[in-house]
Structure 1
Amino acid sequence: MTQIILENARVFDGVSEECPDGMSVLVEGGTIREVSDRPIRADDVRRIDVAGKTLMPGLIDMHVHSYFSDLDPRVLNDRDAPYRTAYAIKKLGHALDSGFTTVRDIGGGDYPLAAAIADGLVRAPRFFYAGKILSMTGGHVDYRTPNEKHHTHGYCSCDAMNWAGVIADGVDECIKAAREELRRGAHCIKIVASGGVMSPSDPIWMNQFREDEIRAIVQECVERRTYVSAHCLTSESTRRSVEFGVRCIEHAAQIDAETAAFVAERGAYVVPTMVCLYSLVEQGLEMGLPGDRMDKLRAVYDDSMAGLDVMRSAGVKLGFGTDLLAGFYPQQTREFTLRREVFSPLELLRQATSVGAEILMQEGSLGCVQPDALADLIVVDGDPLKDVGLLAAEGQHLDLIMRGGDLVKNRLG
């Protein structure tokens, strides 16, 4: 089995503010075997001199949509699986080159894509997926316009599903839909619990799914030892979701201080997605986003940065997510630039490593540098604890990227 020793490294372990110098890390196969403050003795091993640069866990993006190749979700259904897959390959490859060794596809990703990645057919980060998003009729993933009278494009849960989601109304349909996605290998279940920007017929302030429906979905996930994540833009939708057992909130752009305190008290997580909002506000119209969606977008955008500060003050545990759609995915690392207006570099590094691993229920395996963890590592040319902008350059300042013990990139010789 191949052994690699990364030596003479400054190590950020995913949590600690202190980053000791002169460290050595032994990787065997796809696992970290030893982390030592002394040189590691081993025969027939490849040694890589990190030269005092920062070795840290690979980054984790907790909110991607691998197949979302157009701002109009309806267009994607007509493009069909081969086109969506080609887009996903390009997008995920870019994520890996930017230092993201793990992603969570939180709507649309599926078993065939996950299997292709696991079998080495697709060059991509480690891949967790939520399968199809669960939406009620008229909810955020019901992309029919008000002019359409019937379920089309596979939106009916009794027939077929569209590329991104499934409609489920009532407890029985919600249970069946959740069980189906879990059967197909989903690592968690995503629901939409408030209105959204990309859907045509639901106002942002609208709460979605009844309490009994949400609790039923949560219970199905508890039985599978996993969790529910919910799309929530408003404070009300966030609070009720967490109250009903949802473990992770996506976006929470309009959260208030009282709700943030409640989320923190319950130990739930939030994954803000700033770069998606900013990129769409800047270029959405020229990329074809309809005017009515732009109005909804601006309403969320105006509150988004204040929401970050509110959650930081309340002590909410935040993951790192981007939610970039269509041709915006090359801006993935810009999320660091936007968040550093509110968070310290240490807080940001934790969000993008160890907190993401917690949400994924992968503590000790991902988001850390310690024995028995998976060997997903990056080497930064500089100190990101002093300048987190080093991570905001699409991988330009990364001298080494390792995923599962394999060297994806190596400029260290």
Structure 2
Amino acid sequence: MYSLAIRNGIVFDGEKFIGKTNIYVDGDKIVKITNERLDAKEEVNAEGYFVMPGLIDAHLHLTGIRGGSLLMGYLLDDPRTRLLRAANWARELLMAGFTTVRDCGEPNSIILRNAINEGIIPGPRIIAAGSPITQTFGHAELSHSLPLEWSIQLGFGEICDGVDECIKAARKVLRSGADFIKIMATGGVLSERDRPEWPQLTPEEMSAIVREAEKVGTYVAAHAHGDKGARIAVEAGVRTIEHGSLITEETVKLMAEKGVSLTPTLSIQELIYKYGKQMGIDPWGLEKIGQVREGVINSIKLARKYGVMILAGTDLGFKTGLDIDMGKNWVEVKLLVELGGLSSEEALRAATGNASKMLRLNTGIIREGYLADIVLINGNPLENINDIARVSTVIKGGKVTVENGKLI
């Protein structure tokens, strides 16, 4: 007898639409997908519901910061207070249908991951980068006007220069418990005086970090807006390019050849562009957002043209109380359709099966042997992508954790 049966749902398996079927779970894994009616200890009636894998946000930051200034959040908020806020975010993410998230830079994410794994707090599975690796005068220094010692003391980024320091930084991040390594390969929007198009870290530095990751069976994700830094990162062996706002056709071709994915992070760009001043985004962020927002749509078109896998990641890192917000991370799936030009099926795949493959997860696909992370939606996002927000039931690891939109 199976431990759980999800009966008569209309199923999208993370790769393709398979129609009406039953899913049987034993323990925390999917063990059978069939039209047969078999016995189970517990049943979920999915008649009339759209059934799909639990959603995956492949790029966010569980900072616990309110408002739009990362600098002021890290300077003024006690890290313990931020941790408690982020724990609440984790609960909201699970209720929104996200059973897995990848935190691309926040030391507290390792603590949150461990707490969720131990059952101390509810939340999605967290793939944690811990502190991102940056050069001096790099993107992980939120202010380049503060003394360098302050940036080091804040502890957001691991600052290193030269191959030897980069090797040590990579080992330090891995020692802290990080699941993968995040590097800053270019400047960014929310860091003060660098430009998104400026490359950061040398080819030798990036290659050394990639080697350290590969030695322990993991990988490197690269923040990269500008083309030159992105290309160096791809040549160095990173697995995922984050943002990719200004990349050229030549670099996209190389990404396709090397099997490197793109996470366009439309949500954060739309949030800052529409509400940045209202949120209190630092002036440098307001000045730079237009450049990357205009470029990223072309990057998505190129990625689709050359078959580069696209992942859904919001890059959200603060609570806003707006229509683009932590806990509403499904907005990225909608934006991939509305702005990025993806079909609804492609967008759903970006938030499930694509992330499963690129991040090498045992979730994100409804398949025998995979973890039973499954959501029921009261609607059909293949027909109307807005229905992705209508999550009714969330099953994580074979256990019903959210029912009728409420945490159990």
TM-score, L = length of structure 2:
0.92
Displacement after TM superposition at 1:410 (Å)? 2.1
Match of 1:373 in 2: 370
- Of 371, 379, 382, which residue of structure 2 is paired with 1:382? 379
Change in CA separation of 1:163 and 1:406 when aligned onto 2, cut-off 3 Å: farther
> Does structure 2 retain, via aligned residues, the 8 Å contact 1:58–1:377?
yes
1:247 maps to 2:243: no
1:401 maps to 2:394: yes
Separation in 1, partners of 2:317, 2:143? 19
- Of 332, 335, 339, which residue of structure 2 is paired with 1:335? 332
Separation in 1, partners of 2:19, 2:290? 44
Tell me whether 215-224 or 203-212 shows the greater mean CA deviation. Answer: 203-212
Change in CA separation of 1:39 and 1:126 when aligned onto 2, cut-off 3 Å: same
Match of 2:291 in 1: 299
When the two structures are aligned, how many residues end up with a matched partner? 396
Partner SS, residue 282 of structure 1: helix
Partner SS, residue 77 of structure 2: helix
1:228 maps to 2:212: no
> Does structure 2 retain, via aligned residues, the 8 Å contact 1:276–1:323?
yes
Change in CA separation of 1:163 and 1:402 when aligned onto 2, cut-off 3 Å: farther
Specify the code of the residue in structure 1 equivalent to 2:212.
Answer: E
> Does structure 1 retain, via aligned residues, the 8 Å contact 2:135–2:159?
yes
Deviations 1:159-186 (A, max 9, x none): x5x3421101111111111111111221
In the TM superposition, 1:81-92 aligns within 5 A as: 81-92=79-90
In the TM superposition, 1:184-333 aligns within 5 A as: 184-326=176-318, 327=320, 328-333=325-330
Q: Using the aligned pairs only, state the percent identity.
A: 32
Specify the code of the residue in structure 2 equivalent to 1:102.
Answer: T
> Does structure 2 retain, via aligned residues, the 8 Å contact 1:261–1:314?
yes
Match of 1:182 in 2: 174
Match of 2:105 in 1: 107
Match of 2:77 in 1: 79
Separation in 2, partners of 1:294, 1:220? 36
Separation in 1, partners of 2:5, 2:186? 48
Change in CA separation of 1:324 and 1:46 when aligned onto 2, cut-off 3 Å: same
Partner SS, residue 237 of structure 1: helix
Tell me whether 53-62 or 104-113 shows the greater mean CA deviation. Answer: 104-113
Specify the code of the residue in structure 2 equivalent to 1:401.
Answer: V
Separation in 2, partners of 1:48, 1:332? 25
1:5 maps to 2:5: yes
> Does structure 2 retain, via aligned residues, the 8 Å contact 1:275–1:331?
no
Separation in 2, partners of 1:348, 1:52? 22
1:351 maps to 2:350: yes
Separation in 1, partners of 2:155, 2:277? 24
Separation in 1, partners of 2:237, 2:138? 20
Deviations 1:289-329 (A, max 9, x none): 23332111111112222222222122111111001132232
Displacement after TM superposition at 1:154 (Å)? 5.0
Match of 2:44 in 1: 48
Separation in 2, partners of 1:271, 1:34? 32
Match of 1:19 in 2: 18
> Does structure 2 retain, via aligned residues, the 8 Å contact 1:104–1:128?
yes
> Does structure 1 retain, via aligned residues, the 8 Å contact 2:230–2:244?
yes
Separation in 1, partners of 2:241, 2:64? 20
> Does structure 2 retain, via aligned residues, the 8 Å contact 1:6–1:25?
yes
Match of 2:121 in 1: 122
Separation in 2, partners of 1:60, 1:200? 30
Displacement after TM superposition at 1:331 (Å)? 4.1
TM-score, L = length of structure 1:
0.91
Deviations 1:141-160 (A, max 9, x none): 122333x4x423351xxxx5
Specify the code of the residue in structure 2 equivalent to 1:50.
Answer: A
Specify the code of the residue in structure 2 equivalent to 1:324.
Answer: L
Specify the code of the residue in structure 1 equivalent to 2:82.
Answer: R
Deviations 1:185-213 (A, max 9, x none): 21110000001011112122211001111
Specify the code of the residue in structure 2 equivalent to 1:37.
Answer: N
Separation in 1, partners of 2:240, 2:10? 32
> Does structure 1 retain, via aligned residues, the 8 Å contact 2:197–2:227?
no
1:63 maps to 2:59: yes
Q: Which runs of 5+ in 2 are unaligned?
A: none
1:164 maps to 2:156: yes
Displacement after TM superposition at 1:68 (Å)? 5.0
Displacement after TM superposition at 1:214 (Å)? 0.4
Displacement after TM superposition at 1:86 (Å)? 1.8
Specify the code of the residue in structure 2 equivalent to 1:182.
Answer: L
Partner SS, residue 303 of structure 1: helix
Displacement after TM superposition at 1:386 (Å)? 1.9
Deviations 1:33-88 (A, max 9, x none): 2211211134xx11222114221110000101001514333322431222111221
Specify the code of the residue in structure 2 equivalent to 1:51.
Answer: E
